Structure 1
C-alpha cells in the first residue's frame, strides 16, 4: 500500500463536511432539497426590490465615476476660471498663463438669421480659440481640422452647426447665415463636443465660431450677457498640485470674482443633481421592496401552514419552540439570500447593459463599474426586509402546542407572537430606518418617506379591519353568491388584509405619480404660456433701448412691453461671510451657485409685494440698498439690515437689505432675486431686458415674424421665444418622469406579485370551500359569481383608498416640495384605480379557476 492512506470518496467527503455544519443549518439545507415550491412570489419580491436599489446605485456610481474619470474632458482642462459679462484683465491672464497653457472659450446667446424668408433662430454660440479642444475630441460631419472649418473663406467666416439648427431653418452644410449682420458659412454639422455637459441646459442649438469672428460681430459689448471660460492645462499634475495652483492664482488676483472649477469636481451642480435623483429613485426602489415584504409575509405564512405536520413532529420529539423557529427562519433567510443574489446580479449588470445598448447616445459619461459598497447596501436592505416581514408569521409557531398543530386546518390555533420575535422585528425595522437615514443625501426627504410608509401601512391595516368589521355587521343577503362573498370578506383566514395592503400600496403609488405628472406638465405646457410673455429680448444696448421699444410697439400693436436694465452678478458674501463657506438649505443653494441676473429700479417691480421693510425713497435710492426675495432670504438667514456682496464686472459691491419681496416666479415675467437701488450701480455699463406679451396670447406666426424682423433690425439683440424655452425644459422633465415611471413600475410589479401571492396563500382554504360547496350542489358559475363579488368589493374599496391617499400625497409633493400650483386632475388617477379593480378580480379568479375544476372525492379523503 506504500504507506499511503486511501482517499475518501467525494460523496463521503461531502457527507463529512455536512456533518460538521450546525444541526439547524443541516436540517434547513435538507428540507430545501425538495425545491422552492411556494416561494416563487417570495423570490420575485425580494429580487425585484434589491434589483431596483442595486441598479439605481450602480448606475449612479458609474455616472459619478464617469464624471470623475472624464473631468478634464468635461471641463476642457484641469482648472476652469469663469467670468461673467467681461474678459479677464491682463493681470488676470498673466496669473493664469504663469501656471500653464490657457485655452479660452466664450459662450453667449445670439440670433442666427437665414437667407430669404427662412427666418431666424436662437443659438447657443460658442466662440473658441486655436487651442480648442484642449481636452477630448470634437466630432463633425464632415470631419476636418477645426481651424480649417472656422477660417474665413470667400468673404465669410466658418462655423459648425448643430443639426437641429439646420432642421429648424431648413439649411444644409454649405449654406450661409448671418450673426449681427455678419455672414457665416456652415462648413460642417456638429456630431459631439467634449465639453457639452459643462455648458448646462441650452435653449437653442449649438453654433461654434472663432473668437476673432465673434469680436468682429460686435456682439460682445460692455454689459452684454456673455461668459468667458479660461481653461488652464496642467497635464500630469496631481490633485495636490491643483490645490496649490488655486492658492497661487487666488493670491495673485484676489478680487477677480471668477467662478473656479477643477477636473476633480468638473460639474458640482450636476453631481449634486445625480445624488438627489439617485436618492429619490432609491426610495422608490425601497418602496418596491417594502411592498414586496407583504408578499414575503404571505409566502412565509403559507409556508408555515404547509409545515404544520413537520413542526408538530419536531416538537413531539423534543425540539423547543425557539429551535423550530430557528430552523425555518434559517431556511427562509437562505431563500431570501438567493433572491437577494439574483437582484444584485441584475442591478450590477444594469450599467454594463446601459452602456452596451446606448453608448453612442448617452449625453453623460458612463463608466460601468462594480460598486461593492452600493451592492452591499442593497443586499442589507433585501435581507433586513425579509427578516422583518418573515419573523412574525414564523414566530407564531413558537408557543403553539403539538396538539394544536395537529388540529384540522379549518380550526387553527390562535396564538400571539413571543416577545423575543417582536424584539427582532423592531430591531430589523430600526436597522432599515437607520440605513435609509444614514445613506440619504437629504435626511428630511428620507424621514418624510419613512413616516409616509408607516402611515400608509397603518391606514391600510385600518381599512382592512374596517372592511372586515363592516362586512360582519351587514345583513346577510338572501342570494347564495352575495352571501358567500360577504362571508369571505371577514371570516377567519380571509384574504382581505393581504389584498388591501398589497393592492392599496400599488394604487396609491400609481395615483400619486399620475397627479405629479399631470401637474408638472400642466404647469410647463398649458398654464404658463397663457399668462407668460411671448418673447424675451436680451442684450438690448442702452443707446438703442428707446428705439427698440418703439420698434416693438409698431411690430406688435396692443402688445404689452416691459423693459428693465439688467446685469449679471454673483453673490460672493453675506454679512461678510464668504458664500463658499455658507451651507444653505438645498432649495436655496442655487442662489449662491453661479451668477444671477440683477437689476436696479426706482419703484417696486410689477407683480411683487413688499412683505417686510419698505421701498426706498428718491434720496435713499442714491445709496447702496437692495430688495431681496423673502422666501430665499429666510432660507439664507438674512434679515433687514443684512449686507449682500455681489461681484459685477469684476468688482465687489456691497449693499444693505432694505426690504423683502414676495416674487411670483411662475408668471415667467421679469423677476429678480435682487433688485438694487439705482445708486448702487450708477455709471456701470449694462444692457436692457425686455418682454413682449401679445394681446391674443400665443401666436406662432406673429412670434416668428417678430423674431425675424428684430434679428434684421437689431442684430445684436438676442430673442428668446418662451414656448421654445418651455419645450426644452419640458423635454428634460419628460426624461426625468420617464425614469421615475420606470422605477415606480417595479414597485407596481411588486404589488401585483404580492396580490398573486396573497391569492395563492389562500389556496388551501379556497380548495376546502370549493369541495364542500360542490358536494352540496353549488355550480361553478355560482362559485365564480361569489368570488367575483368578493374580489370586486376588495378592489373597489382599495381603489377608493388609493384615490384619496394618492391625491393627498400628490398634493403634498406638488405644492409643498415642488412648490407648484396643484390641480386635482383625476383622469389618469381614475384609470389607475379602475385597472386596480380589474386586476384584483382577474388575478383572484385566475387563482381560483383551477380549484373550481377539481373533483371532490380525492380531497374529501384528505380532509
Structure 2
C-alpha cells in the first residue's frame, strides 16, 4: 500500500475509534455554516425576486413627485396609462368609536398600480374602491389597532367614508412602513369635499406613468432631466427603485451574514480547543508511531486527514441544514420585505458554506495539531517530553497570519468596503483577545491566590478551572462572545426606548397640534385652556425654498466643481422656518449674535443650526436667497446655534428674526402637556371634531410605534444571534464530553479516598457555577463597553446601565451552564469505581 493510502487508512481507523469525541465539536461548525448558507441562499433568491418583480415594486414605469403643484410634462403618445396622487398627513376618526389617529391620506386618480395590484381583504375591496364614491381602503394595521371592520365608517375632514377593504400590501411598501405611517386611500374626486386642502397645507403631488412597450424610457427622461432638477421635481424609474431596494437588502444580508460568520468563528474556537485536548491524549500514540519509524510528517498527515474528514462532514451537513433553514426566513423577515420571496436550492451559497467550513476548520485545527510534529520517540520513556512548547515555531505564526487574512478577506467579501471590514475585523480580534486574556487572568489568579482557608469542595472546584484538559479559555471565549452579542442588542434597545419615552418625563410636552391656520390659532389655544392644559409653545411656521447662495443659483452651482460648489441638498430641500428674537430651552448660541430686524430696508440676519452648517459648508456672513411663496428674500447668516433635536420642542434649522415673516403665508404649531393617555385621547378627539384640518401628534403613540419597530428589528437580530448562543452551548456540551474521562478518573480517586456523593455534587456545581458566571460576566462587560461606544458616538445619547436585562442575561447564561454541568456529572457519578481502576 502506498504512503497516501496508508495515511488515509490510519485516519479512518482512528476516526472510527475517536470520532464521537470530535463529532459534537464539529457540530458547532455545523450551526454556523447552516446560518451562513441560509442567509446567503435567502439573499440570492431575494436579489432574483427583486429583479423579477422590479415593476411591481414601483407600480409604474416612471414616478414624478414634488411637494408643490407642478405642470405635468407632455409625453404625448408614449403614455399608455397615467395616474395622479396627492398625499398628506391628516387625522382620521373612526365613526362610533370616538377614536382618531394621524395617518397618510392618499387621494388617488387613475388605475395605479399599473403593475401588480393592491392586495385587499376581501379581494373585491379594490374593485369596490375603483367604482368611486365615498369609499376608502385602509391599512390593515390601522383596522387592527381600532378593532374596525369592513363596512365601518371613517371620517376624514368633513367627509365620512365607508371602509371598502383592508390593505394587506401596497406595491413597494413593507410592514415597517405601514407601522410608521399607515395609509388610507380615497378617490381624488372626494378630496375637495374633505376641506383639508387649504392655503399652506403640506401636500405632496405624484404622477404615475406606464409607457408603451416600444418607448425608450431612459432617452425620454434625459430630455427632461435638467428642467426637473431645476424645478426640484423628483423622479424614479423601475431601474432606480430596483437598484436602491437591492442596495438596502444587500446591506441587510451582509450584516446578517456577518452575524452568521461570528457563529462560525465561535465554532472554530471550539474546534481548536477540542483538537488541543485530542492531541494531548494522542501524544503517547504518536510517540509509539515515531518509535517504529513513522516520520513526523506522516503522523501529522494522519491526524490532519482526520480533521479534514470531520470538517467536510460538518460543512456538508451544515450546508444541507442551512438550505432547509432558509424556508423559515421569509416568515422571520416578512415585515421588512417589499416583494414575495421564493426559496430553493442555491448552489453558490452551498459551495460558499462548504468551502468556508472546511477551510476554517483546518486553519483553527492546525494551531494545536502542529504540536504533533515536535513529539520525540523518547516520550515513550519520558512522558514529560510531551509537554512540548513551540512558541517560536514559524509555521504556527504562518497559520495565525492565514487565519487573520481569511478573516479580513471573508469580511471584505461580505461588506465590499475596506473601512467597514477593518472595523469588523478589529472588533472580532479585540473581543476574542479580551475574552482570552480575561480567561487566562482568571486561571492564573486562581492558581496563584486560591485561599487555603476555603472549604475543600470550593478549593477543588476552582482548581479544576486550570487543571489539565480544562476548557476554561474556549468556553469563556465562545459563551462570552455570544452573550456579548445578545446583551448589546438588549442594552442598546433599552437605551433607545428610554430616550424616546417623552410622555413619561414630567418636564417634557407630549402633544403637538400642527397644520393650524392663522385664523384658528386662538380658538385652538382657548379650547386647550378650557380643558386646563398649558400652552407651552405656539409657533408660526413658514415654508420656503433656497434659490441662491452668495449669488450662485442652483443651475450655476451644478456647473461648478465639487470643491467650489455647494451641496446639492441645500437647494433641493424645503425649509420650514420660524421667527423670533430669543432662544428657547433646546438651543444654545455658539457663534455670532441674534440680530433684530427693526425697520424695512435693514439687512436680514438669520441663525442656522451649527451642525447643519458644518455638514453643508455654510459660514458666517454667507448670503442666502430664499423664495417665500414667489417672493425673493435676501438674508445673511448672522449666527450659529447648537440645537438639541432630541428634546421635544419646536426645533428649526433656520431661525428668522421677528417682524420679517409676519405677513408670509404660514401655519402654526401648538404644544401642550397632558397628564395621562386618557386625557390626551379625549383632547385629540375633541380637537379633531372641531378642527378637522388640524393634525395631532401624540408622543405616547410615537413611543408605542417605536417600541413595535424596535421589537421587530430586534427579533430579526436575536434570531441570528441565537446561532451564536447555540454554538456556545454546543461547545460547552462538547467540552464536558471530551473531558469526561479525565473527570471520571478524578472523581473515582476522590471516591477512593472517601469523598461522599454530596461533596462530589457540590464540587461539580460550584465549578460550573463559577465557569458560567465568569463567561456571562465577561460577555456582559464587553457588551457594556460596546453599548457605551454606540450610545456616545453613534446615537449620541446618555449611557445608562439597564440592570433588569443585565441581571436576566447573567442569570440565564449561568443557570444553563450549571444545568449542563450537572447533567454531565450525573453519568460520572454513576460510573463504578472498579471499572475505572481496572482501565
Q: Which residue of 2 aligns with 1:567?
A: 543
Distance 2:499 2:365 in 1: 44
Distance 1:68 1:648 in 2: 43
1:598-613 aligned within 5 A: 598-603=576-581, 606=584, 607-613=586-592
Q: Which residue of 1 aligns with 2:390?
A: 416
Question: Does structure 1 retain, via aligned residues, the 8 Å contact 2:105–2:185?
Answer: yes
Q: Which residue of 2 aligns with 1:668?
A: 648
Question: Does structure 1 retain, via aligned residues, the 8 Å contact 2:597–2:604?
Answer: no
Indicate yes or no: 2:320 matched with 1:338: no
Aligned counterpart in structure 2 of residue 217 of structure 1, from 163, 171, 194:
194
Question: Does structure 1 retain, via aligned residues, the 8 Å contact 2:62–2:238?
Answer: yes
Distance 2:31 2:612 in 1: 41
Indicate yes or no: 2:44 matched with 1:42: no
Question: Does structure 1 retain, via aligned residues, the 8 Å contact 2:535–2:671?
Answer: no
Aligned residue for 2:241, secondary structure, equals coil
1:370-449 aligned within 5 A: 376-379=351-354, 381-404=356-379, 412-416=386-390, 418-440=393-415, 444-449=419-424
Aligned length: 828
Indicate yes or no: 2:805 matched with 1:828: yes
Distance 1:580 1:48 in 2: 54
Aligned residue for 2:102, secondary structure, equals strand
**Cα drift, residue 210 of structure 1:** 0.9
After the TM superposition, which of the residue ranges 775-784 and 205-214 deviates more from structure 2? 775-784
Q: Which residue of 2 aligns with 1:738?
A: 715
Aligned counterpart in structure 2 of residue 854 of structure 1, from 823, 831, 838:
831
Deviations 1:27-72 (A, max 9, x none): 5456546683212332221111122233233334443443333232
Question: Does structure 2 retain, via aligned residues, the 8 Å contact 1:529–1:723?
Answer: no
Q: Which residue of 2 aligns with 1:290?
A: 265
1:507-586 aligned within 5 A: 507-525=483-501, 530-567=506-543
Distance 1:646 1:381 in 2: 58
Normalising by the residue count of structure 1, what TM-score does the alignment of the two structures yield? 0.85
1:69-88 aligned within 5 A: 69-84=52-67, 86-88=68-70
Question: Does structure 1 retain, via aligned residues, the 8 Å contact 2:540–2:666?
Answer: no
Aligned residue for 1:219, secondary structure, equals coil
Indicate yes or no: 2:96 matched with 1:123: no
**Contiguous gaps of at least 5 residues in structure 1:** 1-17, 584-588
When residues 637 and 494 of structure 1 are mapped into structure 2, their CA distance, relative to the original with a 3 A threshold, is farther
Aligned residue for 1:794, secondary structure, equals helix
Indicate yes or no: 2:593 matched with 1:617: no
**Cα drift, residue 423 of structure 1:** 0.4
**Contiguous gaps of at least 5 residues in structure 2:** none
Distance 2:50 2:661 in 1: 39
Question: Does structure 2 retain, via aligned residues, the 8 Å contact 1:579–1:592?
Answer: no
Question: Does structure 1 retain, via aligned residues, the 8 Å contact 2:39–2:326?
Answer: no
When residues 614 and 306 of structure 1 are mapped into structure 2, their CA distance, relative to the original with a 3 A threshold, is same
**Cα drift, residue 392 of structure 1:** 1.0
When residues 323 and 678 of structure 1 are mapped into structure 2, their CA distance, relative to the original with a 3 A threshold, is farther
Question: Does structure 2 retain, via aligned residues, the 8 Å contact 1:75–1:198?
Answer: no
After the TM superposition, which of the residue ranges 477-486 and 352-361 deviates more from structure 2? 352-361
**Cα drift, residue 177 of structure 1:** 3.5
After the TM superposition, which of the residue ranges 365-374 and 850-859 deviates more from structure 2? 365-374
Distance 1:802 1:445 in 2: 23
Question: Does structure 2 retain, via aligned residues, the 8 Å contact 1:611–1:662?
Answer: yes
Question: Does structure 2 retain, via aligned residues, the 8 Å contact 1:622–1:680?
Answer: no
Question: Does structure 1 retain, via aligned residues, the 8 Å contact 2:622–2:636?
Answer: yes
Q: Which residue of 2 aligns with 1:186?
A: 163
When residues 591 and 831 of structure 1 are mapped into structure 2, their CA distance, relative to the original with a 3 A threshold, is farther
**Cα drift, residue 209 of structure 1:** 1.0
Indicate yes or no: 2:697 matched with 1:714: no
When residues 649 and 245 of structure 1 are mapped into structure 2, their CA distance, relative to the original with a 3 A threshold, is farther
Distance 1:19 1:571 in 2: 84
Distance 2:50 2:631 in 1: 33
Aligned residue for 1:38, secondary structure, equals helix
Distance 1:44 1:571 in 2: 64
When residues 197 and 164 of structure 1 are mapped into structure 2, their CA distance, relative to the original with a 3 A threshold, is closer
Question: Does structure 2 retain, via aligned residues, the 8 Å contact 1:538–1:718?
Answer: yes
**Cα drift, residue 735 of structure 1:** 0.2
Normalising by the residue count of structure 2, what TM-score does the alignment of the two structures yield? 0.87
When residues 478 and 692 of structure 1 are mapped into structure 2, their CA distance, relative to the original with a 3 A threshold, is closer
Question: Does structure 2 retain, via aligned residues, the 8 Å contact 1:646–1:652?
Answer: yes
Question: Does structure 1 retain, via aligned residues, the 8 Å contact 2:542–2:667?
Answer: yes
After the TM superposition, which of the residue ranges 129-138 and 596-605 deviates more from structure 2? 596-605
**Cα drift, residue 26 of structure 1:** 6.2
Distance 2:454 2:100 in 1: 76
